[in-house]
A and B are shown apart, each in its own frame.
Chain A
Amino acid sequence: MLFLLAWRNVWRNVKRSTIIIVSIALGLAGGLFAGAVMMGMGESMINSAIDRNLGHLQIHSPAYRRDALVSNYIRSPQKVLSLLDTLGSVKAYSARTLLEGMASSANSSYGVTITGVDPERERETTALVSMLVAGNFLADKYRTQAVIGKKLAERLGLKLKSKIILTFQDRSGEIVYMAARIVGLFKTESTAFDEMTVFVRQKDVTRLLGARKPLIHEIAIRLKNSSTLPATKARLASGFSDLKVEEWREIAPELAFMSTSVESFTYLFVAIIIFALIFGITNTMLMAVMERIHELGILMAVGMKRGRVFIMILMETLLLSFVGGMLGMLIGGAAIAWFNHFGIDLSAFAQGLEGFGSGTILYPYLPGVMYAALTVMIVVAANISALMPAWKAVRLKPAQAVRVY
């Protein structure tokens, strides 16, 4: 009956309760949606980085991770590759030769990472091929081809089929020049990547480096399912204690940082909304108490314990915030589901977003835990804001309160 009483009290001022419920609902829905947009953006950045070149896991020699020198290659890559061939969780891998060097045209030159790949392997491991905007990916037909970012091509003043000069050091420190024909231009979601990456055929650089076998600096691994990441990583790490096996989080700590900071930011955002709500709710419940001094006096006079009065006021707020919270979850959830299905077209802001490495179509999403956490935050906050009014209510002296009309 206490519940019934609280419920009816909530609805004695329909307009006021509606305002509170709607503001809680909209506050929560806004928070959920904003959170989902941020999470979606973060997820998109991570996925596109994984698709582009990271893969889920990468293997390097520890020395290469300290110092990106040609000589810090993986000494016996074949052992690793054979194991990868047997692992069911691995979808594909690409063993890459990485050379820090320069890309030059007649006009200018830029520092780049020259990535020597087996075109077929790379094609399976990353989605780079789908990011070509002109020409084709590396093929076997011609010698010394290069695929570069459209951005780099623009900076160098080069076009498809132009000649590009790549410069790097061999193992003995000698400068090596490589003249290549640009056969393809890619445009990824990361401007930085597009400016700094040149793909060439591994066999071309191997020859120029004077090596019999390719020098492998990096093995990028793509998994069938990202949930097998920890297990696969552990398997590889235990198999090759002399190598560094890392997941995308470690290779691109800025992505990992972003993914956690997006989460914290969402909570912060909701906390700010909540802060504003608390004032509104406190004020409303205070009004609800002040209007009812006489009635609360009667209740306490006839024998309702202070604790129960306190609970009744809290329960009224709990009901308000619960209804508001449910409604907010519904609105927020529906909006997220809708846009998760159809996407939000952000091409108007594409320029800015690509700098971040995020896609132009955004798919907001929110993990279940965050739904629950944010909703609980709102409901808890609502009740914190009812503490003061409830406390005011129980401090009333019944003898005096009943004299108030």
Chain B
Amino acid sequence: MALIDVRHITKTYNSTAVPVHALRDVNVHFEKKEFTAIVGPSGSGKTTLLNILGGLDAPTSGEVLIGGQNITGMKESALVEFRLRHIGFVFQAYNLIPVLTAIENVEFIMLLQGVGKKERHERARALLADVGLADRLDSRPSQLSGGQQQRVAVARALASRPRFVLADEPTANLDSESTTSLLDMMEEMNAKYEMTFIFSTHDARVIERAHRVITLEDGRFQEDKQ
């Protein structure tokens, strides 16, 4: 059974004067331990697809199965819980809660999960060490560089022990050095925790690093390279 099974997903935005077909009949599987890039020009539907995979948005038609469980049509409250337990998120920028320190940001998600205080603290500390920020535990996001903030975001995504991590253009706001080191770190986590990463990008250097590349164009599934 595929980790994620996307079946005949279409997404049409009707809020605009002319309906926008953001996704047109997309079919794709993702397996455990993948390190996959979703690429395509701006407006091709990358963000839309990731949002639907992550249960942040509902498709117009089609369904998404995660570990065999159909999340399409789930109630909002159940989806929140599902996201909390099973999916890690990294967004393009400003992922962190500005008033919380790095370690508090990582602990926060475990708090929502109901993990005990001591375990929360230890796991957060270990994860921040994993992403190379052992010495910045008590820094506020504003005291961290963009690359460091994204590392904390990855640590937070991993903290909930999700089945997979979705990252929408995680390197878009980073310089090339930070981009490389973030990818190094993500790959390391991919190997160490057998964690599935699905990320979107425009960046050729990022695409190079992916183990699998899925290309979208104008909302259509274009090609799938291993």
Contacts and interface: CB of A to CB of B under 8 A. Distances in A.
A398 B56 contact: yes
Contacts of B107: 1
Contacts of B99: 5, 8-9, 12
A301 B56 contact: yes
Contacts of A287: none
A274 to B, nearest CB: 29
B91 interface: yes
B104 to A, nearest CB: 7
B84 A1 contact: no
A300 B98 CA distance: 15
A301 B83 contact: yes
Contacts of B98: 12, 295
Contact of A300 (B80, B81, B111): B80
Interface bin, chain B: 20 to 34
Given A1-B104, A402-B91, A299 B77 contact: no
A334 to B, nearest CB: 33
Contact of A304 (B47, B80, B104): B80
Interface string A378-405: 0000000000000000000111001101
Nearest to B140: A8
A48 B56 CA distance: 72
A405 B173 CA distance: 13
B30 interface: no
A303 interface: yes
Given A303-B83, A303-B84, A405-B94, A399 B56 contact: yes
A298 B95 CA distance: 7
Nearest to A401: B56
Most chain A CB atoms below 10 A, which of B54, B89, B97: B97
27 contacts: A1-B108, A5-B97, A5-B100, A8-B99, A12-B99, A295-B94, A295-B98, A298-B95, A301-B91, A302-B84, A302-B89, A302-B156, A302-B160, A303-B83, A303-B85, A303-B160, A304-B84, A305-B80, A305-B81, A308-B112, A397-B57, A399-B56, A399-B57, A402-B56, A402-B91, A403-B47, A405-B94
Interface of B: 47, 51, 54, 56-57, 76-77, 80-81, 83-85, 89, 91, 93-95, 97-100, 104, 107-109, 111-113, 156, 160
Nearest 3 pairs of A and B residues by beta carbon: A303-B84, A8-B99, A399-B56
